[in-house]
Amino acid sequence: MVETINSGPLDSKPCVDTISSAKVTPISNKQEQEPMTTKKIRHVIKDEGTRDKINTYLVGLRTKKGLTQVDLCKKLGLDPDRAKTLVSQCETGYIKVPPERFKDWAKACGEPRDMFAKTMLKFYEPYIYECLFK
């Protein structure tokens, strides 16, 4: 179940947090999905070099803070049994860190939230990043 959030001013916190109940589904052009073991993984981030950089950054932040994936899930307020997959998929570039979780993810890993958001923008939206910061 995915709920919409009532967005207010830019600095306000979303009224509804549903990531723990949302089902994470990889992007696919197919209507019906084959089992993960029999098909090639479709990454949201197509460039392997960028996926490697995302992995290095996210895993580095987490391990520098001494956190396991389960620890990070707990700090994010997620059910570790279901959400560990989310952390793994974000770290490998299979899915993106949800933007509404940037502040929580940064705080859990001890990274300034503006630096975390800027870095993720650089990976996920390089053209927008370039327009804003170059």
Domain count, the chain: 1
Token pair, residue 24, equals 């994470």
The Cβ of residue 62 has, within 10 Å, a number of other Cβ atoms equal to 21
Instruction: Tell me whether residue 49 is in a domain.
Output: yes
CB within 8 Å of 4: residues ≥ 6 apart: 16
Q: Which residues form the domain of 91?
A: 43-133
- The proportion of the chain whose per-residue pLDDT surpasses 70, expressed as a percent, equals 68
Instruction: Tell me whether residue 48 is in a domain.
Output: yes
**Can you say whether the dihedral through the CA atoms of 75, 79, 85, 89 is positive or negative?**
negative
Rounded Cα gap, residues 79 and 81, in angstroms: 6
CATH of the domain at 103: 1.10.260.40
Instruction: Tell me whether residue 5 is in a domain.
Output: no
Instruction: Tell me whether residue 35 is in a domain.
Output: no
* 43-52 pLDDT tens trace: 678 888 999 9
* 76-112 pLDDT tens trace: 988 877 777 889 999 998 899 999 999 999 999 999 9
Instruction: Tell me whether residue 36 is in a domain.
Output: no
